[in-house]
Structure 1
Amino acid sequence: MVSSTKRFKQHHQAVCTELDGDVALFQSNTCDYLVLNETGSAIWNALKTQPTLPELCKYLEEEYEVTPDECKSAIETWLEAALDKKVIAVVDD
């Protein structure tokens, strides 16, 4: 489970480009390649400000028609997968 107090950022070794309006990521160490949909791209772009989980939820709830519980669950799943793929990282305290 993702901590609500941790801040998240784009991993410094994740290479990013835009393809037809979506974000494509390549992790140079693991050679993982991901193409993000609109929502994933919105999360990726929001990571530039190093938000917490609650801050990401607030941002996406304002952008999309989603309940707080659905939003939190979906973002947690996305963050966990992105952490596993090493395209995002937890900000060091």
Structure 2
Amino acid sequence: MAQPVKIRKIPQKFLATDIDGELILVHADTGVFFSAKDTGRAIWQAIDRSPAIEDIVQGLRNDYEVAPEECLRSVLAFTDQLVEAGLAEYC
């Protein structure tokens, strides 16, 4: 499969809140809780600024000292989890 180009959240599938710097997500259909701190939270917020994976990676590289390949792997690992959980989709 080719690398995903963009990701978008599926708003009707989750409730989200920030508690003391931790992102808490609740799947609207299943009630399953997810939490993310630090980089995961930063990726979640970056999706709102731009759905392009390339933009998300570049934004994180501006904030964190990380190699491009490592950053891309981390972003895709997190976004894959979001997609698998049904909270987002690649487009």
In terms of fraction of residues, the more helix-rich structure is 2
Residue matched to 2:17: 17
- CA shift for structure 1 position 2: 6.7
Alpha-carbon distance in structure 1 between the residues aligned to 2:10 and 2:25: 10
Q: Deviations over 1:26-66 (max 9, x none)?
A: 11113221110111111111111342111111011001111
TM superposition score normalised by structure 2: 0.86
**Helix, strand or coil at the partner of 2:17:** strand
Structure-2 residue corresponding to 1:49: 49
Q: SS where residue 29 of structure 1 aligns?
A: coil
SS at match of 1:66: coil
- TM-score of the superposition, structure 1-length normalised? 0.85
Gaps of 5+ in 2: none
SS at match of 2:30: coil
Alpha-carbon offset, residue 3 of structure 1: 2.8
Computed over aligned residues only, the root mean square deviation of the Cα atoms, in angstroms, reads 1.7
1:55 maps to a residue whose letter is: D
How many residues are treated as equivalent by the alignment? 90
Counterpart contact for 2:16–2:26, Cα < 8 Å: yes
Long gaps (5+) in structure 1: none
